[in-house]
Amino acid sequence: MTKLANKVALVTGGNSGIGLATAKLYKEQGARVIITARSQKTYEQAVQEYGSVFDVVQTDVSKPAELDRLYAHIKQKYGKLDVLFANAGVALFAPTTEVDEAFFDNQFNTNVRGLYFTVSKALPILSPGSSVVLNASVVSTKGFAGGTVYAATKAAVRSFARSWTAEIPPAQARFNVLSPGPIETPIYAKLGMPADHLTAFADGMKAGVPAKRFGTADEMAKVALFLASDDSSYIMGADIVADGGYGQV
């Protein structure tokens, strides 16, 4: 039996990494899936590769007008939304002395402001008993040198789930957080590091993970499916950490 039969699911940033793996799994489990891609280039690529599988909508979540257009499309085409995986985000790392306003605003505008309005603007079309999954990170609770800004954005995401759970009745929607640890996704290639530095960074991360490896996007997708489905019906306001033990020991 499929876990998301007859459900309509939105995965922001569903064109790559954890978002794409989750979108594929939601689809396998019976959902009609909408994914977003941020830029014209990534949108065109997603349409070419996945347009026959998903409904692809170009959306920069940091721009409220684009979110309005996205939800107008969903309302007109589907009439409802049952699952929202607020996954779109950016990850950049730098020592505090090298962080400027543009670096700070880029991450907060997408990871915090963008996620907040992704959820708030979805509320009018969420079906009763819908599930909202917020993608955060283990660094929301674990100190990480060079990650002051990124970690703070993810701590805000974790806080949103608590407050929305207290504010919005579970009969309307459940809110939970997926907090990955180090995961093999394309996001690491976007950190702006030279190749040798990136390799050293990855090796250092693996050494600190009790599992002694990076997790996979498919492993995160399985957690996102659990939180989206009725299997997690009594889980609300929780932070499900899937990190190979990185933040636990």
Would you name the residues annotated as active-site residues? Answer: 150
Residues 6+ apart with CB under 8 A from 4: 26, 29, 30, 31, 82, 83, 225, 228, 229
Measure the CA–CA gap between 66 and 64, rounded to whole angstroms: 5
Alpha carbon of 239 to those of 3, 128, 154, 221, 227: distances in Å?
21, 22, 11, 15, 10
- Residue by residue, DSSP assigns 15-28 as TSHHHHHHHHHHHH
- From edge to edge, which strands make up the β-sheet containing 126-135? 55-58, 32-37, 8-11, 81-86, 126-135, 173-180, 239-242
- CA separation for the pair 82, 210 (Å, rounded): 36
